[in-house]
Structure 1
Amino acid sequence: MGPIGIFDSGYGGLTVFREIAKKLPQYDYVYLGDNARIPYGTRSFETVYAFTKECVDQLFAMDCRLVVLACNTASAKALRTIQQVDLPLYPDLRKVLGVIRPTTEIIGDYTKTRHVGILATPGTVKSTSYPIEIHKFFPNITVYQQACPFWVPLVENNELDSPGAAYFVQADIKRLLQQSPQIDTVILACTHYPLLLPLIKQYMPPHIQVLAQGQLVANSLADYLHRHPEIEQLCTKGGTTQFFTTDSEVDFEKKAAVFYGKKIKAAPLTLG
């Protein structure tokens, strides 16, 4: 038995973890941010897989039997290989989940026009993971994607209220909506983007629903644990949380507070 592991390439996964901890406070958690090697979004599939597997193995070594990849890039580029190739090699039961499926499997409950927009990093857009997964569940939904290469740097440099943020948010939303006037639901397919929600809502037409992933992933995890008691019983319940970063813990603590919504204490961790 052990804690639930939460992995992200950096800080954005904290917006998802915040909702998970709120929904399921009884469990123990270990959060690992691979901040020393960000950004993942611009790296190849092979590199993202190698980095993600290394971090998942680290969380397994810390007694986590269930790991959530709270990162769209890792979910898009590494999750399937880890699930299909690596997990069967372990002698005991271990599970790794991502953030894409919990979002895509319920999108049909939100859209009436069956036209859905995706705002994401260039890496996630290039992977086409969202269109592929949405079409598995809802073949009649048309998906439109827009890459937003400047949004993550704006968030990580704490320029949420800057003229630059306003310019790029407005421009990328306009490019997305120009693809179809029928879009009625937009998924924020990056865990950094909830911090830009005030700006996004300012430039998004009011009739369009904007979905952030945190609450959707938290609800999905709660349902998963309910449906899989063999996994749930392996997760310890002490209400504790540990944060680790592969970079400076001082820098991590400072930025993490913005994403997590409160101050945290972190410890440095060296991989390998």
Structure 2
Amino acid sequence: MNKFPIGIFDSGFGGLTVFKSIAEKLPQYDYIYLGDNARSPYGDHSFETVYQYTLECVEWLFAQGCTLVILACNTASAKALRNIQQLDLPKKYPNNRVLGVIRPTAEVIGNYSTTKNVGVLGTRGTVNSNSYAIEIEHFFPDIKVHQQACPMWVPIIENGEHLSAGADFFVDEYIQQLLQKSNEIDCVLLACTHYPLLVPKIKKHLPGNVKIVAQGDIVANSLVDYLKRHTELETKLAKNAQRTFYTSGDVKVFNERASMFLGEKIAAQKMNKS
């Protein structure tokens, strides 16, 4: 019987922070990572465009043999996941599954806050979708969610400028805008998988009592639980610890930048769309 790899998708590099946590928790599985770098960032694109791009990439991963795909991208999870799950999978891929990063995060984020005031930092697309406020209310109806879009953060990170002095201006600007919404925020969610690379600067500009929550371990723990509950899917997964990386963009640039997110060198391949 054929065994299948797990697909992990992101609009660019950010999903590598989620992939890293997943691979550390579940090292035995085969993974195919796809970054749609040629069309990133997704944050300012319309719902229609993000849905179209995400579906194309998910279908490409399906064609590579992935029966389970993780959208390791908050914008794709906010703007495309529901349509893919409700419209595309039942009609065309009834045996395949696509999971996102928003629901697993919403299920636990309330546990990090004492004041019941949570800040959410994300792309414009994620914030405008209001997905986190809606999902968090399902699990923690008493939590107040304060959102702030950070449109400059992804370009800064993807261009390797996240450690520069210039990045401090934009980190401080968005954090101050968030904190002006409430002085009771005691927990800040990094609702973009790129943002963990900015943690040293975010810590510098946040009050010391405010917790910073990244998504990598949360999503990895959720996947561990999901596979335990869905043995019919888990038994079909390949377990050769093979990891393959693809990009729709420039391979050389991807290899250089990916090492920032993974902490190791990789050799990606060009996504063949034919």
Give me the TM-score of the superposition, normalised by structure 2. 0.97
Q: Tell me what 2:266 maps to.
A: 264
Q: Tell me what 1:207 maps to.
A: 209
SS in 2 for 1:49: helix
CA offsets 1:202-223 (integer angstroms, 9 cap, x no match): 1111111100011111111111
1:45/1:77 contact within 8 Å kept: yes
SS in 2 for 1:135: helix
Q: Tell me what 1:110 maps to.
A: 112
What is the letter of the counterpart of residue 7 of structure 1?
F
SS in 1 for 2:237: coil
1:186/1:208 contact within 8 Å kept: yes
Q: Tell me what 1:240 maps to.
A: 242
Q: Tell me what 1:140 maps to.
A: 142
Describe how 1:92-171 pairs up with structure 2 within 5 A.
92-171=94-173
Distance 1:105 1:33 in 2: 26
What is the letter of the counterpart of residue 144 of structure 1?
H
Q: Tell me what 2:66 maps to.
A: 64
SS in 2 for 1:32: strand
Could you tell which deviates more after superposition, 153-162 or 127-136? Answer: 153-162
2:43/2:151 contact within 8 Å kept: no
**What is the Cα deviation at residue 167 of structure 1?**
1.0
Question: Where do 5+ consecutive residues of structure 2 fail to align?
Answer: none
Residue of 29, 51, 59 corresponding to 1:27: 29
Could you tell which deviates more after superposition, 160-169 or 71-80? Answer: 160-169
**What is the Cα deviation at residue 171 of structure 1?**
1.5
SS in 2 for 1:186: strand
**What is the Cα deviation at residue 163 of structure 1?**
2.4
1:54/1:271 contact within 8 Å kept: no
Distance 1:160 1:73 in 2: 20
Residue of 5, 8, 16 corresponding to 2:7: 5
Q: Is 1:40–2:42 an aligned residue pair?
A: yes
**What is the Cα deviation at residue 34 of structure 1?**
0.8
Distance 1:122 1:111 in 2: 24
**What is the Cα deviation at residue 107 of structure 1?**
1.1
Distance 1:18 1:123 in 2: 24
Residue of 182, 185, 196 corresponding to 1:183: 185
Identity among equivalent positions (%) equals 59
CA offsets 1:38-90 (integer angstroms, 9 cap, x no match): 12111110111011001101111111110000001100000000001111113
What is the letter of the counterpart of residue 257 of structure 1?
S
Distance 1:49 1:10 in 2: 15
Q: Is 1:54–2:45 an aligned residue pair?
A: no
Distance 1:151 1:248 in 2: 21
2:148/2:177 contact within 8 Å kept: yes
What is the letter of the counterpart of residue 44 of structure 2?
T
SS in 2 for 1:144: strand
Distance 2:208 2:93 in 1: 51
1:34/1:246 contact within 8 Å kept: yes
1:55/1:271 contact within 8 Å kept: no
Change in Cα spacing, 1:112 to 1:163, as seen in structure 2 (3 Å) is same
CA offsets 1:218-258 (integer angstroms, 9 cap, x no match): 11111111111111112111100000111121111011111
Give me the TM-score of the superposition, normalised by structure 1. 0.98
SS in 2 for 1:251: helix
What is the letter of the counterpart of residue 29 of structure 2?
Y
Distance 2:131 2:55 in 1: 19
**What is the Cα deviation at residue 134 of structure 1?**
0.4
Distance 1:198 1:163 in 2: 12
Distance 1:7 1:133 in 2: 21
Distance 2:67 2:109 in 1: 29
2:36/2:249 contact within 8 Å kept: yes
Aligned residue-pair number: 272
